[in-house]
Amino acid sequence: MVGMFERGDGDLGIANLFISDLGGRNQHQQYTAPFGQEIMCFMIKKGTSTPRWQSLALPFGRDVWIAVMLMALLLGPIFFALSRPRVTRDEKLSRQSMAFIYLYTFGVHLKVAQTQLPVSLSLQIFVAFLWVYVIIVLEAYSAKLVSFLTVERIPEDINTIEELYHASIPIYGNTRWYYDSFALAKNEYIKKLTERYSILREFEDSYKHLMTGQAAYIASANNLMYTISLYAKNGNPTLRLLKECFQPYNTALGVQSHSPLKRNMDQAVNWVREAGLPYQWRRETLMIVRQEKRTTTNDSTDDPESEGEKRVSFSLEHLEGVFIMYGVGCGLSLFVFTCELPFTRVP
């Protein structure tokens, strides 16, 4: 397009042109008034879903689970130590074994009503704060559990440009302009990406590499959002954007240098921009693509009008983690039972 302006073969270039002098572009053409803003982003393959059986552990992060486990281990000895000095007939808990105390605190964690309540003031204070702790922890876990059981979770391994660089995967684009942008960047990781950048004019060629999970593609953010919608399967995206982008630009149309059309085009572009039409057209384009995908695949799961009417029934896939945990418990109890048999005496 820039070459056509230089040769006088074109009068107006309608494209998402970045306003930049990179590569001496502004020596061969001029820009109209900007109609929007763009930013360059990277696109990679969307990861596979986290197995459903892991959903039970997802409501809490690793640090929270470690804290909960430590609390569960410490509660037994603390409870036992507080009950020992007050061995009385009224304080039944003081005469119980450590194993009973652990089962008692475990039952509290499951919000099971306990028939044996503490009598001494110190144990009453301890158990009262234990109840408050358990209620808050369990309510937080329960509130998050439903969403993790029903919503598909995709782990995101690459999100920043630094992580992309360390992944050592090739970067593809459809023009040398991105290579020049890498070379002029101040970010050392972006600059080093020039070593792995390759030009593929047809996106289908890049898509084949992307779907192997061992490549990334660079373009403007809106271009990539359109591409993600276009290549979705059954309403589910197969590609995703990295969270970190770089180098924002104003976007405009292109005209010849010293073109008499520029003045009128600037006025027209300003009217379009002030009316918010570029944003509206972009939104409508994405909706059209999604609608066409639903029509061709007979899929209506992402229809915004029916979003509020959708209901999720728990299937075995959603609750497989519970059955696995129960099976592990049954297997462990059976193993302990077989170990206890040689030491069991029949009266």
The two tokens of residue 13 are 């270039």
Give, for 223, the enclosing helix (H) or strand (E): helix 221-230
The two tokens of residue 178 are 């991105």
Cβ atoms within 10 Å of 89's Cβ, excluding its own: 8
**Is residue 289 within 8 Å of 226, Cβ to Cβ?**
yes
Give, in words, the CATH class of 2-51+153-309.
Answer: alpha beta
Query: Mind listing the pLDDT tens digit for each residue in 110-142?
Result: 878 777 777 777 778 888 888 888 888 888 888
For helices 277-297 and 221-230, what crossing angle results, to 10°?
Answer: 20
Euclidean distance between CA atoms 44 and 214, whole angstroms: 8
Residue type, 301: T
Radius of gyration for the alpha carbons in the chain, expressed in angstroms and rounded:
32
Euclidean distance between CA atoms 339 and 341, whole angstroms: 6
| pLDDT for position 19 | 87
**Is residue 249 within 8 Å of 15, Cβ to Cβ?**
no
Domains of the chain, by residue range, sit at 2-51+153-309, 59-150
Is 0.75 surpassed by the pTM of this model? no
Q: What phi and psi, each to the nearest 5 degrees, are found at residue 259?
A: -70, 135
For helices 121-150 and 98-109, what crossing angle results, to 10°?
Answer: 50
Sequence length of the chain is 347
Closest C-alpha among 250, 265, 222 to residue 18: 250
pLDDT along the chain (347 residues), means of 10: 87 86 82 91 86 82 88 84 65 77 84 77 82 88 84 78 92 90 89 93 92 92 90 85 89 91 93 91 85 64 45 72 81 82 67
Q: Half-sphere exposure of 344 toward its Cβ, with a 13 Å CA cutoff?
A: 7
The two tokens of residue 259 are 């073109």
| pLDDT for position 119 | 76
Which of 145-148's residues contact partners 24+ apart within 8 Å by CB, and which partners?
145/55, 145/56, 145/59, 148/55, 148/58, 148/59
DSSP string, 313-341: ---TTTTHHHHHHHHHHHHHHHHHHHHHG
**Is residue 26 within 8 Å of 111, Cβ to Cβ?**
no
| pLDDT for position 86 | 55
Euclidean distance between CA atoms 130 and 78, whole angstroms: 12
Euclidean distance between CA atoms 233 and 205, whole angstroms: 18
Euclidean distance between CA atoms 345 and 209, whole angstroms: 68
Region of residue 152 (left: phi > 0; alpha: psi -120 to 50; beta: else):
beta
Query: Mind listing the pLDDT tens digit for each residue in 33-55?
Result: 999 888 999 999 988 777 777 88
Burial class (CB in 10 A: 0-12, 13-18, 19+), 3: exposed
Query: Mind listing the pLDDT tens digit for each residue in 302-314?
Result: 444 444 445 666 7
